[in-house]
Amino acid sequence: MPIALYALTAGAFGIGVTEFVIMGLLLEVGHDFGVSISAAGLLISGYALGVVLGAPLLTALTARWPQRRTLLGLMVIFTLGNLACALAPDYATLMAARVLTSFAHGTFFGVGSVVATSLVPAERRASAIALMFTGLTVATILGVPLGTWLGQLYGWRAAFWVVTGIGVLALAILAIYLPRNGAPPAAGNLREDFRVLKRPAVLLGLLTTVLGFGGVFTVFSYVSPLLTRLAGFSESAVSPVLLVFGGGLVLGNLLGGKLADRKLVPALLGSLVALAVVMGLMTFSLQNQVAVVIFIALLGAAGFATVPPLQMWVLEKAHGAGQSVAASFNIAAFNLGNALGAWLGGMTIDHGPGLAALPWVGALLPVAAIATALLCLRLEREPALPAATVQQAR
Protein backbone atom coordinates (compact mmCIF):
# COMPACT_ATOMS: atom_id res chain seq x y z
CA MET A 1 0.00 0.00 0.00
CA PRO A 2 1.34 3.50 -0.84
CA ILE A 3 2.55 5.66 2.03
CA ALA A 4 -0.09 8.32 1.29
CA LEU A 5 -2.70 5.77 2.31
CA TYR A 6 -1.08 5.48 5.75
CA ALA A 7 -1.20 9.28 6.02
CA LEU A 8 -4.97 9.06 5.52
CA THR A 9 -5.02 6.38 8.21
CA ALA A 10 -3.29 8.80 10.60
CA GLY A 11 -5.95 11.44 9.93
CA ALA A 12 -8.68 8.87 10.45
CA PHE A 13 -7.10 7.92 13.78
CA GLY A 14 -7.27 11.49 15.04
CA ILE A 15 -10.89 11.91 14.02
CA GLY A 16 -11.78 8.51 15.47
CA VAL A 17 -10.42 9.40 18.89
CA THR A 18 -12.51 12.54 19.20
CA GLU A 19 -15.66 10.77 17.98
CA PHE A 20 -15.49 7.89 20.43
CA VAL A 21 -13.63 9.25 23.47
CA ILE A 22 -16.79 10.75 24.96
CA MET A 23 -18.37 7.29 25.26
CA GLY A 24 -16.07 6.32 28.09
CA LEU A 25 -16.57 9.66 29.85
CA LEU A 26 -20.36 9.96 30.01
CA LEU A 27 -20.44 9.50 33.78
CA GLU A 28 -17.68 12.10 34.37
CA VAL A 29 -19.18 14.70 32.00
CA GLY A 30 -22.67 14.15 33.41
CA HIS A 31 -21.42 14.59 36.98
CA ASP A 32 -19.38 17.70 36.12
CA PHE A 33 -22.24 19.49 34.36
CA GLY A 34 -25.08 18.04 36.46
CA VAL A 35 -26.87 16.24 33.62
CA SER A 36 -28.20 12.68 33.31
CA ILE A 37 -26.46 9.84 31.49
CA SER A 38 -28.96 10.04 28.64
CA ALA A 39 -28.36 13.81 28.34
CA ALA A 40 -24.60 13.23 28.29
CA GLY A 41 -25.24 10.59 25.63
CA LEU A 42 -26.70 13.33 23.43
CA LEU A 43 -23.13 14.59 23.00
CA ILE A 44 -22.69 11.47 20.86
CA SER A 45 -25.86 12.23 18.90
CA GLY A 46 -24.88 15.90 18.54
CA TYR A 47 -21.54 14.94 17.02
CA ALA A 48 -23.20 12.47 14.68
CA LEU A 49 -25.82 14.97 13.53
CA GLY A 50 -23.04 17.51 13.00
CA VAL A 51 -21.42 15.05 10.60
CA VAL A 52 -24.74 14.72 8.78
CA LEU A 53 -25.01 18.50 8.39
CA GLY A 54 -21.32 19.09 7.74
CA ALA A 55 -20.91 16.47 5.01
CA PRO A 56 -23.08 18.19 2.36
CA LEU A 57 -22.04 21.70 3.45
CA LEU A 58 -18.26 21.19 3.37
CA THR A 59 -18.45 18.87 0.36
CA ALA A 60 -20.13 21.69 -1.56
CA LEU A 61 -17.72 24.36 -0.28
CA THR A 62 -14.60 22.31 -1.09
CA ALA A 63 -15.82 20.55 -4.25
CA ARG A 64 -13.46 22.52 -6.50
CA TRP A 65 -10.48 22.45 -4.13
CA PRO A 66 -7.54 20.12 -4.67
CA GLN A 67 -8.06 17.04 -2.53
CA ARG A 68 -4.88 17.68 -0.54
CA ARG A 69 -5.99 21.17 0.46
CA THR A 70 -9.41 19.87 1.41
CA LEU A 71 -8.05 17.16 3.71
CA LEU A 72 -5.58 19.54 5.41
CA GLY A 73 -8.26 22.19 5.93
CA LEU A 74 -10.60 19.65 7.48
CA MET A 75 -7.90 18.53 9.90
CA VAL A 76 -7.43 22.16 11.01
CA ILE A 77 -11.18 22.38 11.79
CA PHE A 78 -10.93 19.13 13.72
CA THR A 79 -8.01 20.37 15.83
CA LEU A 80 -9.61 23.72 16.68
CA GLY A 81 -12.88 22.00 17.59
CA ASN A 82 -11.15 19.73 20.08
CA LEU A 83 -9.38 22.72 21.63
CA ALA A 84 -12.81 24.31 22.13
CA CYS A 85 -14.05 21.07 23.76
CA ALA A 86 -11.17 21.13 26.25
CA LEU A 87 -12.00 24.73 27.21
CA ALA A 88 -15.82 24.39 27.29
CA PRO A 89 -17.23 26.03 30.46
CA ASP A 90 -20.66 24.37 30.31
CA TYR A 91 -22.72 21.62 28.66
CA ALA A 92 -24.10 23.83 25.86
CA THR A 93 -20.64 25.05 24.87
CA LEU A 94 -19.29 21.50 24.88
CA MET A 95 -22.16 20.43 22.62
CA ALA A 96 -21.46 23.32 20.22
CA ALA A 97 -17.74 22.48 20.17
CA ARG A 98 -18.50 18.82 19.47
CA VAL A 99 -20.71 19.82 16.55
CA LEU A 100 -17.98 22.14 15.18
CA THR A 101 -15.45 19.31 15.39
CA SER A 102 -17.82 16.91 13.67
CA PHE A 103 -18.16 19.13 10.59
CA ALA A 104 -14.77 17.91 9.36
CA HIS A 105 -15.63 14.24 9.77
CA GLY A 106 -17.92 13.37 6.86
CA THR A 107 -16.02 15.18 4.13
CA PHE A 108 -12.64 13.91 5.38
CA PHE A 109 -13.72 10.27 5.18
CA GLY A 110 -15.68 10.86 1.98
CA VAL A 111 -12.85 12.55 0.08
CA GLY A 112 -10.34 10.26 1.78
CA SER A 113 -12.22 7.17 0.56
CA VAL A 114 -12.11 8.40 -3.02
CA VAL A 115 -8.40 9.25 -2.71
CA ALA A 116 -7.69 5.84 -1.13
CA THR A 117 -9.38 3.93 -3.96
CA SER A 118 -7.47 6.00 -6.53
CA LEU A 119 -4.12 4.98 -5.03
CA VAL A 120 -4.52 1.21 -5.57
CA PRO A 121 -5.58 -1.23 -8.33
CA ALA A 122 -9.31 -1.82 -8.78
CA GLU A 123 -9.22 -5.25 -7.14
CA ARG A 124 -7.87 -3.75 -3.88
CA ARG A 125 -10.21 -0.79 -3.48
CA ALA A 126 -12.21 -2.20 -0.56
CA SER A 127 -8.98 -3.17 1.21
CA ALA A 128 -7.67 0.38 0.72
CA ILE A 129 -10.83 1.76 2.34
CA ALA A 130 -10.46 -0.80 5.14
CA LEU A 131 -6.86 0.29 5.74
CA MET A 132 -7.91 3.92 5.97
CA PHE A 133 -10.70 3.01 8.39
CA THR A 134 -8.16 1.05 10.42
CA GLY A 135 -7.18 4.45 11.80
CA LEU A 136 -10.70 4.66 13.16
CA THR A 137 -10.51 1.22 14.71
CA VAL A 138 -7.05 1.76 16.19
CA ALA A 139 -8.43 4.96 17.71
CA THR A 140 -10.91 2.79 19.55
CA ILE A 141 -8.23 0.34 20.68
CA LEU A 142 -5.69 2.91 21.88
CA GLY A 143 -7.26 6.35 21.89
CA VAL A 144 -10.59 5.71 23.56
CA PRO A 145 -9.36 3.55 26.47
CA LEU A 146 -6.43 5.94 26.98
CA GLY A 147 -8.79 8.91 26.89
CA THR A 148 -11.13 7.19 29.33
CA TRP A 149 -8.22 6.49 31.67
CA LEU A 150 -6.96 10.08 31.43
CA GLY A 151 -10.46 11.42 31.99
CA GLN A 152 -10.99 9.30 35.08
CA LEU A 153 -7.55 10.16 36.46
CA TYR A 154 -7.14 13.85 35.56
CA GLY A 155 -10.66 14.91 34.54
CA TRP A 156 -12.43 14.55 31.23
CA ARG A 157 -10.90 17.76 29.84
CA ALA A 158 -7.45 16.12 29.86
CA ALA A 159 -8.67 13.66 27.23
CA PHE A 160 -9.59 16.50 24.87
CA TRP A 161 -6.25 18.24 25.40
CA VAL A 162 -4.53 15.04 24.32
CA VAL A 163 -6.81 14.72 21.30
CA THR A 164 -5.95 18.30 20.32
CA GLY A 165 -2.28 17.27 20.32
CA ILE A 166 -3.12 14.23 18.20
CA GLY A 167 -4.82 16.56 15.72
CA VAL A 168 -1.68 18.68 15.39
CA LEU A 169 0.42 15.54 14.80
CA ALA A 170 -2.02 14.10 12.24
CA LEU A 171 -2.06 17.44 10.40
CA ALA A 172 1.73 17.36 10.14
CA ILE A 173 1.76 13.76 8.83
CA LEU A 174 -0.85 14.57 6.19
CA ALA A 175 1.05 17.71 5.12
CA ILE A 176 4.23 15.67 4.63
CA TYR A 177 2.92 12.56 2.89
CA LEU A 178 -0.21 13.47 0.94
CA PRO A 179 0.76 13.77 -2.73
CA ARG A 180 0.90 17.32 -4.06
CA ASN A 181 0.11 16.18 -7.59
CA GLY A 182 -3.19 14.50 -6.74
CA ALA A 183 -6.35 14.67 -8.79
CA PRO A 184 -7.19 18.25 -9.87
CA PRO A 185 -10.50 19.82 -8.86
CA ALA A 186 -13.43 18.55 -10.87
CA ALA A 187 -14.44 20.79 -13.75
CA GLY A 188 -18.06 19.72 -13.87
CA ASN A 189 -21.15 21.33 -12.43
CA LEU A 190 -21.65 20.93 -8.69
CA ARG A 191 -25.37 20.47 -9.25
CA GLU A 192 -24.56 17.53 -11.51
CA ASP A 193 -22.40 16.00 -8.78
CA PHE A 194 -25.24 16.21 -6.26
CA ARG A 195 -27.68 14.70 -8.77
CA VAL A 196 -26.20 11.31 -7.82
CA LEU A 197 -28.40 11.51 -4.71
CA LYS A 198 -31.49 11.13 -6.89
CA ARG A 199 -30.55 7.56 -7.83
CA PRO A 200 -32.77 5.08 -5.92
CA ALA A 201 -29.86 2.62 -5.54
CA VAL A 202 -27.70 5.31 -3.89
CA LEU A 203 -30.49 6.38 -1.53
CA LEU A 204 -31.22 2.78 -0.54
CA GLY A 205 -27.49 2.25 -0.01
CA LEU A 206 -27.39 5.25 2.34
CA LEU A 207 -30.42 3.94 4.23
CA THR A 208 -28.74 0.53 4.54
CA THR A 209 -25.75 2.24 6.16
CA VAL A 210 -27.93 4.21 8.61
CA LEU A 211 -29.80 1.12 9.76
CA GLY A 212 -26.87 -1.29 9.75
CA PHE A 213 -24.53 0.88 11.78
CA GLY A 214 -27.26 2.28 14.02
CA GLY A 215 -27.57 -1.08 15.72
CA VAL A 216 -23.93 -0.99 16.86
CA PHE A 217 -24.35 2.36 18.59
CA THR A 218 -27.59 1.41 20.30
CA VAL A 219 -25.36 -0.75 22.49
CA PHE A 220 -21.91 0.84 22.27
CA SER A 221 -23.10 4.34 23.22
CA TYR A 222 -24.01 2.99 26.65
CA VAL A 223 -21.28 0.40 27.05
CA SER A 224 -20.01 1.98 30.29
CA PRO A 225 -23.31 1.65 32.24
CA LEU A 226 -23.87 -1.79 30.68
CA LEU A 227 -20.56 -3.01 32.04
CA THR A 228 -20.76 -1.35 35.45
CA ARG A 229 -24.46 -1.61 36.32
CA LEU A 230 -25.37 -4.96 34.77
CA ALA A 231 -22.16 -6.98 34.42
CA GLY A 232 -20.75 -5.74 37.73
CA PHE A 233 -17.43 -4.34 36.47
CA SER A 234 -15.75 -1.47 38.28
CA GLU A 235 -15.35 1.83 36.45
CA SER A 236 -11.60 1.23 36.19
CA ALA A 237 -12.28 -2.01 34.27
CA VAL A 238 -14.14 -0.23 31.46
CA SER A 239 -10.95 0.80 29.63
CA PRO A 240 -9.51 -2.75 29.40
CA VAL A 241 -12.85 -4.04 28.09
CA LEU A 242 -12.83 -1.27 25.47
CA LEU A 243 -9.44 -2.60 24.37
CA VAL A 244 -11.12 -5.93 23.67
CA PHE A 245 -13.84 -4.16 21.68
CA GLY A 246 -11.17 -2.30 19.71
CA GLY A 247 -9.36 -5.53 18.87
CA GLY A 248 -12.60 -6.85 17.42
CA LEU A 249 -12.97 -3.65 15.37
CA VAL A 250 -9.59 -4.02 13.69
CA LEU A 251 -10.07 -7.69 12.82
CA GLY A 252 -13.62 -7.16 11.59
CA ASN A 253 -12.70 -4.11 9.52
CA LEU A 254 -9.81 -5.81 7.72
CA LEU A 255 -11.82 -9.00 7.19
CA GLY A 256 -14.75 -6.99 5.82
CA GLY A 257 -12.41 -5.31 3.32
CA LYS A 258 -10.96 -8.59 2.07
CA LEU A 259 -14.38 -10.22 1.74
CA ALA A 260 -15.79 -7.18 -0.08
CA ASP A 261 -12.91 -7.29 -2.58
CA ARG A 262 -13.88 -10.88 -3.38
CA LYS A 263 -17.69 -10.66 -3.52
CA LEU A 264 -19.32 -7.42 -2.42
CA VAL A 265 -22.98 -8.46 -2.04
CA PRO A 266 -22.35 -11.64 0.01
CA ALA A 267 -19.91 -9.65 2.20
CA LEU A 268 -22.51 -6.95 2.80
CA LEU A 269 -25.41 -9.27 3.59
CA GLY A 270 -23.27 -11.73 5.56
CA SER A 271 -21.79 -9.04 7.81
CA LEU A 272 -25.23 -7.59 8.56
CA VAL A 273 -26.60 -11.04 9.41
CA ALA A 274 -23.62 -11.68 11.70
CA LEU A 275 -24.19 -8.34 13.45
CA ALA A 276 -27.88 -9.05 14.07
CA VAL A 277 -27.11 -12.52 15.45
CA VAL A 278 -24.33 -11.29 17.74
CA MET A 279 -26.52 -8.55 19.20
CA GLY A 280 -29.48 -10.85 19.68
CA LEU A 281 -27.38 -13.42 21.56
CA MET A 282 -25.58 -10.72 23.55
CA THR A 283 -28.83 -10.14 25.45
CA PHE A 284 -28.23 -13.38 27.36
CA SER A 285 -24.64 -12.55 28.34
CA LEU A 286 -25.07 -9.35 30.35
CA GLN A 287 -25.02 -10.99 33.79
CA ASN A 288 -21.84 -12.96 33.12
CA GLN A 289 -18.58 -11.01 33.02
CA VAL A 290 -16.64 -13.47 30.85
CA ALA A 291 -19.50 -13.90 28.38
CA VAL A 292 -20.16 -10.18 28.08
CA VAL A 293 -16.49 -9.45 27.29
CA ILE A 294 -16.58 -12.09 24.54
CA PHE A 295 -19.70 -10.54 23.07
CA ILE A 296 -18.22 -7.03 23.30
CA ALA A 297 -15.34 -8.31 21.11
CA LEU A 298 -17.78 -9.99 18.71
CA LEU A 299 -19.87 -6.80 18.55
CA GLY A 300 -16.78 -4.86 17.48
CA ALA A 301 -15.81 -7.45 14.87
CA ALA A 302 -19.28 -7.85 13.39
CA GLY A 303 -20.04 -4.12 13.53
CA PHE A 304 -16.93 -2.97 11.68
CA ALA A 305 -16.97 -5.88 9.23
CA THR A 306 -19.92 -4.00 7.72
CA VAL A 307 -17.94 -0.77 7.12
CA PRO A 308 -15.91 -1.55 3.95
CA PRO A 309 -18.84 -3.34 2.22
CA LEU A 310 -21.24 -0.49 3.08
CA GLN A 311 -18.81 2.16 1.78
CA MET A 312 -17.99 0.21 -1.40
CA TRP A 313 -21.70 -0.51 -1.94
CA VAL A 314 -22.49 3.21 -2.15
CA LEU A 315 -19.37 4.02 -4.21
CA GLU A 316 -20.41 1.40 -6.78
CA LYS A 317 -23.97 2.74 -6.93
CA ALA A 318 -22.53 6.24 -7.49
CA HIS A 319 -20.19 5.25 -10.32
CA GLY A 320 -19.01 8.18 -12.39
CA ALA A 321 -19.57 11.82 -11.43
CA GLY A 322 -20.55 12.53 -7.87
CA GLN A 323 -18.57 9.76 -6.15
CA SER A 324 -17.07 12.17 -3.61
CA VAL A 325 -20.54 13.51 -2.83
CA ALA A 326 -21.96 10.01 -2.38
CA ALA A 327 -18.97 8.90 -0.28
CA SER A 328 -19.31 11.95 2.01
CA PHE A 329 -23.04 11.38 2.39
CA ASN A 330 -22.40 7.74 3.25
CA ILE A 331 -20.07 8.84 6.06
CA ALA A 332 -22.90 11.12 7.14
CA ALA A 333 -25.17 8.08 6.96
CA PHE A 334 -22.83 6.16 9.29
CA ASN A 335 -23.08 8.99 11.77
CA LEU A 336 -26.81 9.38 11.34
CA GLY A 337 -26.87 5.72 12.32
CA ASN A 338 -24.73 6.63 15.35
CA ALA A 339 -27.23 9.32 16.32
CA LEU A 340 -30.18 6.99 15.73
CA GLY A 341 -28.55 4.29 17.84
CA ALA A 342 -27.66 6.65 20.70
CA TRP A 343 -31.20 8.09 20.65
CA LEU A 344 -32.83 4.66 20.48
CA GLY A 345 -30.63 3.44 23.32
CA GLY A 346 -31.55 6.46 25.46
CA MET A 347 -35.26 5.94 24.77
CA THR A 348 -34.92 2.26 25.62
CA ILE A 349 -33.28 3.15 28.94
CA ASP A 350 -35.60 6.02 29.93
CA HIS A 351 -38.95 4.95 28.47
CA GLY A 352 -38.63 1.42 27.17
CA PRO A 353 -37.77 -2.00 28.56
CA GLY A 354 -34.54 -0.67 30.13
CA LEU A 355 -30.77 -0.97 29.96
CA ALA A 356 -30.71 -4.77 29.68
CA ALA A 357 -32.83 -4.65 26.50
CA LEU A 358 -30.32 -2.61 24.49
CA PRO A 359 -28.76 -5.55 22.56
CA TRP A 360 -32.00 -7.06 21.25
CA VAL A 361 -33.50 -3.64 20.50
CA GLY A 362 -30.34 -2.75 18.57
CA ALA A 363 -30.46 -6.04 16.64
CA LEU A 364 -33.69 -4.90 14.97
CA LEU A 365 -31.79 -2.24 13.02
CA PRO A 366 -29.39 -4.50 11.05
CA VAL A 367 -32.37 -6.75 10.29
CA ALA A 368 -34.05 -3.69 8.73
CA ALA A 369 -30.79 -2.97 6.88
CA ILE A 370 -30.81 -6.45 5.36
CA ALA A 371 -34.36 -5.90 4.12
CA THR A 372 -33.33 -2.56 2.59
CA ALA A 373 -30.33 -4.07 0.79
CA LEU A 374 -32.48 -6.90 -0.58
CA LEU A 375 -35.02 -4.34 -1.83
CA CYS A 376 -32.21 -2.49 -3.63
CA LEU A 377 -31.02 -5.71 -5.27
CA ARG A 378 -34.55 -6.56 -6.33
CA LEU A 379 -35.08 -3.14 -7.94
CA GLU A 380 -31.80 -3.42 -9.81
CA ARG A 381 -32.66 -6.87 -11.16
CA GLU A 382 -36.10 -5.89 -12.46
CA PRO A 383 -35.83 -5.62 -16.26
CA ALA A 384 -36.82 -2.33 -17.83
CA LEU A 385 -40.14 -2.31 -19.64
CA PRO A 386 -39.80 -2.81 -23.40
CA ALA A 387 -40.27 0.37 -25.42
CA ALA A 388 -43.45 -1.04 -27.06
CA THR A 389 -44.99 -1.73 -23.67
CA VAL A 390 -44.22 1.80 -22.50
CA GLN A 391 -45.78 3.22 -25.69
CA GLN A 392 -48.95 1.17 -25.18
CA ALA A 393 -49.20 2.29 -21.58
CA ARG A 394 -49.16 5.90 -22.77
Q: Is residue 387 pLDDT above 60, yes or no? A: no
CA 87 to chain centre: 25
> Could you give the dihedral angle defined by the CA atoms of residues 55, 60, 64 and 68, in that order, rounded to the nearest 10 degrees?
-20
**DSSP notation for 26-60:** HHHHHHHHT--HHHHHHHHHHHHHHHHHHHHHHHH
State the pLDDT confidence band at 175, using cuts at 50, 70 and 90.
confident
* Contact call for residues 136 and 12 (beta carbons, < 8 A): yes
Q: Say which residue, 51 or 274, is predicted with more confidence.
A: 274
Q: What is the pLDDT of residue 385?
A: 41
DSSP 310: H
State the Rg of the chain over Cα.
20
Query: Is the pLDDT score of 383 beyond 80?
Result: no
Mean pLDDT score, 225-254: 85
CA distances from 167 to 65, 97, 227 (A): 21, 15, 30
pLDDT band at 351 (very low <50, low <70, confident <90, very high): confident
Q: What 3-state DSSP class applies to 199?
A: coil
List Cβ neighbours of 189 (8 Å cut-off, separation of 6 or more): none
| Tens-digit pLDDT profile for residues 53-90 | 887 788 778 877 888 888 889 889 988 999 999 999 99
385: left (phi over 0), alpha (psi -120 to 50) or beta: beta
Determine the pLDDT at residue 1.
67
At residue 152, the pLDDT reads 78
The CB-side HSE value for 69 (13 A sphere, CA atoms) comes to 11
CB-based contact 10:173 (threshold 8 Å) = yes
pTM of the full predicted structure? 0.74
Contact 252, 373 (CB under 8 A): no
pLDDT at position 267 is 94
Domains and CATH numbers, the chain: 3-181+190-380 (1.20.1250.20)
25 and 147 Cβ atoms separated by less than 8 Å: yes
What pLDDT score was predicted for residue 34? 86
- Higher-scoring residue by pLDDT: 5, 1: 5
